[in-house]
């Protein structure tokens, strides 16, 4: 006999599929039924520079962007420009902020029915500070996940014992919330070896509700609502290492790894079962059938890791040749089998991704676009959501680093950049109840300048 939980999950997605034919492209409401599970739809977990290259990050280090995935990269905040010119006793302070513009298209299996939604969301804000050569500090805030769905279904209810028909009803399933991570981290290098650690606070909320009203023109029934609101938070930590190998005067191989252990999050929950009546001003409670507040519990956030390498052709600074390129590859796994919500499992499984990409920076000339960094990459893997069947994913990305006008005469190269990335990702196939195709435009602003300058005179 199929469990009640499994049947509910399937019915929830099937109900959404039936709605797809009623929706049009003009409907811009964010609505993702897969965000019902786990901690919701996971936000991009790399900065916009890395997203343009397939999101590899384990071995990536750059003085003009903050790679918050691997804190060992913070040791690179001291820019090579100051190391050559020796005009400053410090490096560049970085302010890196990112926004996402998403467009989702959900399809029901292999049918033509679809639903399209769009949204604009905060992605991250990071502040990188070079404390001294080969030692950096970072403060940041970023979004980890998002819950947002609202599904209506007209259904026939049956007595679970006798199997006899009871009545028709309209059911409304809704969810809201998400999670964020605020961190401070440091990374330092000893010769070619770098190590770093992030400490922070992971927090968020999950709000689920089911409203049901009977459709009957002879007998009047009160509408009911079952809602659960949870908030959670606790300390969080992850760490990373990087090792640089100079293959020759022009080529550098950098190896990297990062990860986090399983984390226990403290949670509180408010549970409400009530009857209500709908008015023009909103829903009005008639009777609280059951209510329980401040129910203590635990949420287990899973462990995970990423390993990879970057092969980079260095810029020839001494001869004023700044053209360079790099390619990178990552393997990332997160152990969502460990996830528990108040001791209960969910429709989530271990996820993995293989990320590959690269960047080309031409030799700068008078032409503006010769000063632009060009990026591309791809990703394949398996999403952490699993409702009956695995949810495969693959995606392509393209990015650019657009330099801004530089008025600081102390710097010999551009330091403030607008980073753009375009990502197209397919999640699911015809074996899944719903396929999720989304197109994301990410815009990031990386501002850096020579702070705390200590000039030297000859």
The CATH number for 189's domain is 2.40.160.60
Residue 457 lies in a domain: no
Number of H helices, E strands in the chain: 3, 18
Residue 455 lies in a domain: no
Q: What are 339's two structure tokens?
A: 């996830």
Rounded to whole angstroms, the Cα distance separating 206 from 269 reads 9
Q: Are 197 and 239 in contact (CB under 8 A)?
A: yes
- What is the pLDDT, as a whole number, of residue 244? 95
Q: Which residues of 423-452 are buried (b: 16+ CB within 10 A; e: fewer)?
A: bebebbeeebbbbbbbebebbbebbbebee
Rounded to whole angstroms, the Cα distance separating 457 from 443 reads 40
Residue 76 lies in a domain: yes
Q: What's the total number of domains in the chain? A: 1
- Tell the residue number behind the tokens 């560049």, with chain if given: 92
- For residue 147, give Cα distances in angstroms to 36, 233, 423, 457: 7, 16, 21, 57
Nearest in space to 267 (alpha carbons), one of 36, 8, 39: 39
Residue 222 lies in a domain: yes
Could you give the 3-state DSSP secondary structure of residue 67? coil
Rounded to whole angstroms, the Cα distance separating 341 from 359 reads 41
- What is the pLDDT, as a whole number, of residue 416? 81
Residue 71 lies in a domain: yes
Rounded to whole angstroms, the Cα distance separating 243 from 255 reads 5
- What is the pLDDT, as a whole number, of residue 364? 83
The pLDDT averaged over each successive group of 10 residues in the chain (458 residues) is: 43 45 42 89 93 96 91 83 44 85 84 81 92 91 93 77 76 90 96 96 93 70 82 96 93 96 95 76 68 92 97 77 88 97 93 97 86 95 91 96 70 71 93 88 84 50
Q: pTM of the full predicted structure? A: 0.85
Rounded to whole angstroms, the Cα distance separating 36 from 12 reads 9
Rounded to whole angstroms, the Cα distance separating 103 from 118 reads 4
**Domain enclosing residue 180, as ranges:** 4-450
Q: How many residues are listed for the chain in this entry?
A: 458
Residue 456 lies in a domain: no
- What is the pLDDT, as a whole number, of residue 319? 65
């Amino acid at each position: 006999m199929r469990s009640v939980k499994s049947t509910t999950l399937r019915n929830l997605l099937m109900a959404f599929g039936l709605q797809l034919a009623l929706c049009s492209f003009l409907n811009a409401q964010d609505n993702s039924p897969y965000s019902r599970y786990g901690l919701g739809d996971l936000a991009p977990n790399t900065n916009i520079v890395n997203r343009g290259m397939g999101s590899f990050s384990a071995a990536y280090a750059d003085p003009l962007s903050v790679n918050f995935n691997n804190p060992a990269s913070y040791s690179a905040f001291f820019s090579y420009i100051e190391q050559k010119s020796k005009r400053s006793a410090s490096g560049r302070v970085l302010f890196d902020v990112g926004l996402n513009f998403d467009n989702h298209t959900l399809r029901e299996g292999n049918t033509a029915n679809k639903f399209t939604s769009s949204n604009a969301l905060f992605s991250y804000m990071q502040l990188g500070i070079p404390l001294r050569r080969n030692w950096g500090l970072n403060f940041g805030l970023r979004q980890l996940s998002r819950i947002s769905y609202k599904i209506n279904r007209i259904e026939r209810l049956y007595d679970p014992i006798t199997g006899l028909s009871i009545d028709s009803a309209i059911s409304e399933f809704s969810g809201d919330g998400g999670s964020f991570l605020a961190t401070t981290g440091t990374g330092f290098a000893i010769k070619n070896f770098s190590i770093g650690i992030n400490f922070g606070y992971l927090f968020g909320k999950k709000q689920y509700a089911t409203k049901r009203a009977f459709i009957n023109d002879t007998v009047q029934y009160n509408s009911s609502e079952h809602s659960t609101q949870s908030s959670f938070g606790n300390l969080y930590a992850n760490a990373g290492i990087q090792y640089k190998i100079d293959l020759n005067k022009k080529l550098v191989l950098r190896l990297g790894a990062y990860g986090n252990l399983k984390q226990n999050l403290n949670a509180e929950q408010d549970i409400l079962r009530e009857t209500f009546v709908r008015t023009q001003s909103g829903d009005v409670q008639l009777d609280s059938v059951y209510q329980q507040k401040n129910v203590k519990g635990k949420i287990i956030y899973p462990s995970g890791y990423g390993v990879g390498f970057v092969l980079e052709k260095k810029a020839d600074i001494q001869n004023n040749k700044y053209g360079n390129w790099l390619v990178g590859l990552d393997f990332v796994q997160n152990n969502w089998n460990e996830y528990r919500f108040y001791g209960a499992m969910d429709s989530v499984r271990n996820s993995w991704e293989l990320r590959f990409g690269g960047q080309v920076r031409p030799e700068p000339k008078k032409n503006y676009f010769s000063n632009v960094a060009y990026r591309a990459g791809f990703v394949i893997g398996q999403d952490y959501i699993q409702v009956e069947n695995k949810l495969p994913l693959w995606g392509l990305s393209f990015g650019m680093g657009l330099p801004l006008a530089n008025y600081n005469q102390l710097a010999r190269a551009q330091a403030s950049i607008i980073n753009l990335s375009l990502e197209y990702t397919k999640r699911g196939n015809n074996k899944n109840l719903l396929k999720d195709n989304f197109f994301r435009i990410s815009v990031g602003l990386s501002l850096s300048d020579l702070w705390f300058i200590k000039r030297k005179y000859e």
